[in-house]
Amino acid sequence: MIFAAGLGTRMGVLTKDRPKPLVEVAGRPLIDYALDIANDAGLRRIVVNTHYLSDQLQRHLSDLPVRISDEPDQLLDTGGGLRKALPLLGDGPVFTLNSDAIWRGPNPLEYLQNLWDADRMDALLLLVSPAASTAHAGAGDFLMSPDGRLQRGPGMIYLGAQIIAPDLLDTFAQDVFSLNLVWDKMIARGRLFGATYPGQWRDVGSPKGLKEAQKLLDTACDV
């Protein structure tokens, strides 16, 4: 599941007339980088959710083997959006990936897959320390114990990539809700885990992040 429905308000004029996943870095739309990650990980079923200026994004994806979960009337947030997309995704644990990031290093979804343990985990989140992050505001989202279990608190930054078992999504009555609420239930069960990403990552949620992502790609081309 690639999350691509957000309004992209922090991007300012860049998203005035286009959805954030179509903002370009190094001449390519952000959504294409996310699709590369999913395809390179060998995923055979990819769903993209849409809302803001969805017609543009759907046209961009129209010739690709991608399923669309449109949210035309109301933005459902990450939890509601994932639950709506489940019939298109099928049974079992799901990868989710934000579309507003640039990665350099191991494929983040493959990295998660190699660490996934369904017997112990309800979700496995990919994280990085604030010291290793650039152009990301805030003090972090989680504290991680030596065995990888997560608690709330300033510390590790969530990178927008995870494996999650969708069972708890049906415990919410509301249509619109964040995956943060789902993670809180998993924390209470002792089944929310994290892993530290060994590569580099840039959050492209703002014009500053866009510049940092461009620098990261330029550095990769120089190597």
Of 125-129, 136-140, 209-213, the poorest mean pLDDT is in: 136-140
Rounded average pLDDT over 45-62: 97
Q: Residue 223: what pLDDT?
A: 46
Q: 76-101: b or e for each residue (b if 16 or more CB lie within 10 Å)?
A: bbbbbbbbbbbeebeeebbbbbbbbb
Q: Residue 130: what pLDDT?
A: 83
> Sorting pLDDT into bands at 50, 70 and 90, what band is 136?
low
In the predicted model, is pLDDT for residue 132 greater than 90? no
DSSP 8-state symbol, 45:
-
Q: How many domains does the chain have?
A: 1
Type of residue found at 8: G
Q: Where are the alpha helices (DSSP H) in the chain?
A: 30-40, 54-61, 77-89, 108-115, 179-188, 207-222
In the predicted model, is pLDDT for residue 69 greater than 90? yes
Tell me the pTM.
0.94
Query: What is the residue whose two structure tokens read 């060998």?
Result: 42
Q: What is the DSSP string of 167-204?
A: GGGGG--SSS--HHHHHHHHHHTT-EEEEE-SSEEEE-
Q: What percentage of the chain reaches a pLDDT higher than 70?
A: 96
pLDDT digits (tens, 9 = 90+) for 162-190: 999 999 999 999 999 999 999 999 999 99
> Sorting pLDDT into bands at 50, 70 and 90, what band is 126?
very high
**Alpha-carbon distance 208 to 19, whole Å?**
17
Q: Residue 139: what pLDDT?
A: 72
Structural domain including 107 reads: 2-222
pLDDT digits (tens, 9 = 90+) for 31-42: 999 999 999 999
The CATH number of the domain holding residue 191 is 3.90.550.10
Rounded average pLDDT over 102-126: 97
Q: Residue 131: what pLDDT?
A: 76
